């Protein structure tokens, strides 16, 4: 079936599209990474080898494999090959603690765990706790089976698999430094919707997309899948560096990129930004964290190509988009709902608020909705809201207001989630670790502005009577027990935490008072 025929169907799969591109443009670049190149014919053949190997090992459609590694050609081949076999992929963050990684592998019931050197080294001390068989995507120095010998032989053809639109596609873990991680199960239908709308953003065979955010992040995947599925080349960057990003973009004549706000900040702050030829850019995207109007303006003024900001949830639901290049007077907003997406605002009682009033943002999309949190039906129910007709929405936890033109302005986060460097951090996770310190009676964690990360976590701590600890001692205690992206930037000792009349800690007061005393970190 041709590419056009597939895209005209209500539902098809990404694996089918890649096969169609392999037949139409076999020598066209599909993946580029560190001087290596894989064309569409090679990608299609490698996907077959992965799918056949999974079937040989008894991995059935709907079973899960996990992968914890930096971006690489092997990572992509594995992900796409698993999809061809109907196997669900759980991409895990290498920055997570060892305990969280073990918990996530167990939670998704992964049959196989694919690792790079860093992940294999981190997990080596706890390998006996892993039920999944370990396979090395790169040389690891451990006894994990190397990827190439694991693959089915060259020329292997997997058995065909029928995939239903609502079959699980991937499991993305949103958090879980302590306690139970939440695995967001997304269906094939959701990813297909992302692909079909990709043409509106200029993705296609002549597009070259630079991926510099990790493949375990939904931020990355909403850009990656349309880019590769619509026949364009994808340039992989395993670790972001602003100057290297610009050099790579100029050399490869990149047309598209998805970046989080802190990456735009670092790029625009480069003294020699203007020496790079970025004239090939058609469109740039941003999501995952608050994107200030001032930074959007800097990008529009100096960085060629259009700029689109997306506001939505990994869980799905409705999405808003701001085409900043078309609406420069709306940079303080996150734009308007996408076509077919239903965004509403509700109050504390779950009732829709009148026009012009603020409320929690909830969203519905006919296709882009998570199945639910894996093994956590109660958490799934908490994330859902139903309108009077029974239509299902996803709650965002963000408070916003629509203006008279239908553009959404975010006012605050109902939840106290911190977004640092594009990653979601949950204060309750950090507070649970803080209270494990023998001298800590209670603690509150808030996000404060950071020039480097967008936001960074700060802890306010009350010590137990008769006990004492220095801020450095407490900070070290916590940071040795959490993931790299979750480390505290500072600890403030207090005699008492400010509370409301009903005893709730006033985190906004903590945040605001801290901001008046401290200059944002560099």
**Phi, psi for 462 (deg, rounded to 5):** -110, 125
Q: Identify whether residues 350 and 382 lie together within a single domain.
A: yes
Q: Identify whether residues 168 and 115 lie together within a single domain.
A: yes
- Report the chain's mean pLDDT, rounded to a whole number: 93
pLDDT of residue 349: 93
Q: Angle between the 261-268 and 242-252 helix axes, to the nearest 10 degrees? A: 90
- Region 400-407: mean pLDDT is 96
pLDDT of residue 176: 43
Going by C-alpha positions, the residue among 72, 56, 81, 83 that lies closest to residue 171 is 83
- How far is the C-alpha of 310 from the C-alpha of 337, rounded, in Å? 10
User: For the segment 367-391, what is each residue's pLDDT rounded down to a tens digit?
Assistant: 889 999 999 999 999 999 999 999 9
- Looking at 357, 386, 413, the residue that finishes a domain is 413
The 10 Å CB-count burial string (b at 16+, else e) for 254-277 is bbbbbbbbbbbbbbeeeeebeebe
Is 257 part of any domain? Answer: no
- Please report, for the domain that includes residue 398, its CATH number: 2.30.38.10
User: For the segment 299-344, what is each residue's pLDDT rounded down to a tens digit?
Assistant: 999 999 999 999 999 999 999 999 999 999 999 999 999 999 999 9
pLDDT of residue 503: 55
Q: Identify whether residues 18 and 36 lie together within a single domain.
A: yes
Is 314 part of any domain? Answer: no
Residue 58, pLDDT > 70, answer yes
Q: Identify whether residues 407 and 495 lie together within a single domain.
A: no
- Region 236-257: mean pLDDT is 97
- Looking at 187, 204, 226, the residue that finishes a domain is 187
- Region 50-75: mean pLDDT is 98
Q: Identify whether residues 167 and 55 lie together within a single domain.
A: yes
Cα atoms in the Cβ-side hemisphere of radius 13 Å centred on 105: 28
Is 129 part of any domain? Answer: yes
Report the number of distinct structural domains present in the chain.
3
Per-residue confidence at 426, pLDDT binned at 50, 70, 90? Answer: confident
The tokens for 376 are 């956590």
- Please report, for the domain that includes residue 493, its CATH number: 3.30.300.30
Long-range own/partner contacts, residues 442-446 (CB < 8 A, 24 or more apart): 442/497, 444/497, 444/505, 444/507, 444/510, 445/416, 445/418, 445/488, 446/416, 446/418, 446/507, 446/510, 446/511, 446/514
- How far is the C-alpha of 106 from the C-alpha of 100, rounded, in Å? 10
pLDDT of residue 276: 98
The CB density around residue 379, as the number of other CB atoms within 10 Å, is: 15
Q: Name which of 56-60, 352-356, 412-416, 496-500 the model is least confident about.
A: 412-416
Q: Which residue has the higher pLDDT, 450 or 416?
A: 450
Q: Name which of 54-63, 129-138, 166-175, 498-507 the model is least confident about.
A: 498-507
Per-residue confidence at 502, pLDDT binned at 50, 70, 90? Answer: very low
- How far is the C-alpha of 197 from the C-alpha of 220, rounded, in Å? 16
- Region 292-300: mean pLDDT is 93
pLDDT of residue 180: 62
Per-residue confidence at 170, pLDDT binned at 50, 70, 90? Answer: very high
pLDDT of residue 61: 98
pLDDT of residue 181: 76
The tokens for 279 are 């004239």
Query: Cα separations (Å) of 46 from 2, 209, 221, 494?
Result: 20, 21, 20, 58
- Please report, for the domain that includes residue 113, its CATH number: 3.40.50.980
Is 409 part of any domain? Answer: yes
Is 477 part of any domain? Answer: yes
User: For the segment 76-109, what is each residue's pLDDT rounded down to a tens digit?
Assistant: 999 999 999 999 999 999 988 899 999 999 999 9
Measured over the CA atoms of residue 290, residue 285, residue 75 and residue 240, the dihedral's sign is negative
The tokens for 179 are 């306690």
Query: Cα separations (Å) of 454 from 60, 287, 434, 491, 521?
Result: 42, 12, 23, 18, 10
Q: Identify whether residues 440 and 405 lie together within a single domain.
A: no
- How far is the C-alpha of 437 from the C-alpha of 490, rounded, in Å? 16
- Looking at 187, 210, 235, the residue that finishes a domain is 187
- How far is the C-alpha of 148 from the C-alpha of 135, rounded, in Å? 10
- How far is the C-alpha of 16 from the C-alpha of 426, rounded, in Å? 38
Going by C-alpha positions, the residue among 261, 309, 310, 288 that lies closest to residue 424 is 288
Q: Identify whether residues 69 and 96 lie together within a single domain.
A: yes
Bridge partner list, 425 = 418
Q: Identify whether residues 468 and 364 lie together within a single domain.
A: no
Q: Identify whether residues 75 and 161 lie together within a single domain.
A: yes
Q: Find the domain containing 409 and state its range.
A: 335-413
Q: Name which of 44-58, 205-219, 425-439, 483-497 the model is least confident about.
A: 425-439
Tell me the DSSP string of 125-193.
GGGGG--SEEEESS--SSSSEEHHHHSPPTT--PPP----TTSEEEEEE---SSSPPPEEEEEHHHHHH
pLDDT of residue 28: 98
pLDDT exceeding 70 applies to what percent of the chain?
96
Burial of 136 (0-12, 13-18, 19+ CB in 10 A): buried
Going by C-alpha positions, the residue among 156, 176, 205 that lies closest to residue 373 is 176
Angle 440-425-120 (CA atoms, 0-180°, nearest 5)? 100
pLDDT of residue 519: 60
Q: Identify whether residues 403 and 438 lie together within a single domain.
A: no
- Region 195-210: mean pLDDT is 96
């Amino acid at each position: 079936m041709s590419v056009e025929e597939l895209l005209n169907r209500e539902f098809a799969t990404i694996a089918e599209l890649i096969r169609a591109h392999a037949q139409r443009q076999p020598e066209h670049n599909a993946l580029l990474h560190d001087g290596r190149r894989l064309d569409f014919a090679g990608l299609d053949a490698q996907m077959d080898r992965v799918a056949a190997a999974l079937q040989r090992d008894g991995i059935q459609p709907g079973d899960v494999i996990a992968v914890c590694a930096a971006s690489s050609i092997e990572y992509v081949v594995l992900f796409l090959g698993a999809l061809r076999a109907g196997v669900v992929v759980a991409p895990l963050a290498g920055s997570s603690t060892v305990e969280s990684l073990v918990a996530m592998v167990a939670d998704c019931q992964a049959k196989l765990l694919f690792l790079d050197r860093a992940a294999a080294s981190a997990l080596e001390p706890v390998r006996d706790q892993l039920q999944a068989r370990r396979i090395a995507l790169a040389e690891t120095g451990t006894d994990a089976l190397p990827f190439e010998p694991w693959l089915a032989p060259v020329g292997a053809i997997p058995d065909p698999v029928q995939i239903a639109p609502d079959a699980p596609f991937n499991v993305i873990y949103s958090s879980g430094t302590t306690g139970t991680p939440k695995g967001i199960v997304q269906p094939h239908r959701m990813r297909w919707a992302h692909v079909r709308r990709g043409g509106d953003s200029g993705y296609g065979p002549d597009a070259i997309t630079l991926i510099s955010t990790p493949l375990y992040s939904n931020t990355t995947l909403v850009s990656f899948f349309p880019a590769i599925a619509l026949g364009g080349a994808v340039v992989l960057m395993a670790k972001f560096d602003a100057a290297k990003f610009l050099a790579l973009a100029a050399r490869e004549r990149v047309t598209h990129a998805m970046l989080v706000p802190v990456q735009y900040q670092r790029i625009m702050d480069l003294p020699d930004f203007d020496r790079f030829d970025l004239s090939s850019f058609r469109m740039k995207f941003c999501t995952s964290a608050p994107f200030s109007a001032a930074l959007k303006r800097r990008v529009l003024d100096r960085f060629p190509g259009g700029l689109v900001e997306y506001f939505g949830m990994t869980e799905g639901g409705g999405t808003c988009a701001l085409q900043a290049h078309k609406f420069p007077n709306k940079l303080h907003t996150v734009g308007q709902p996408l076509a077919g997406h239903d965004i509403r605002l509700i109050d504390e009682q779950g009732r829709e608020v009148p026009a012009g009033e603020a409320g929690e943002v909830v969203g519905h999309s006919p296709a882009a909705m998570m199945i639910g949190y894996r093994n956590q039906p109660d958490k799934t129910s908490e994330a859902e809201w139903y309108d009077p007709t029974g239509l299902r929405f996803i709650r965002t936890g963000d408070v916003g207001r629509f203006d008279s033109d239908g553009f959404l302005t975010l006012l605050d986060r109902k939840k106290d989630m911190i977004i640092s460097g594009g990653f979601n951090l949950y204060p309750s996770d950090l507070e649970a670790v803080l209270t494990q310190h023998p001298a800590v009676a209670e603690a509150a964690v808030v996000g404060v502005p950071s020039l480097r990360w967008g936001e960074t976590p700060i802890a306010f701590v009350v010590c137990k009577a008769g006990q004492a600890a220095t801020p450095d001692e407490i900070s070290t205690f916590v940071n040795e027990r959490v993931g790299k992206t979750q480390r505290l930037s500072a600890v403030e000792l207090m005699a008492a935490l400010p509370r409301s009349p009903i005893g709730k800690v006033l985190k906004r007061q903590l945040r605001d008072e801290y901001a008046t005393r401290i200059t944002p970190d560099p």
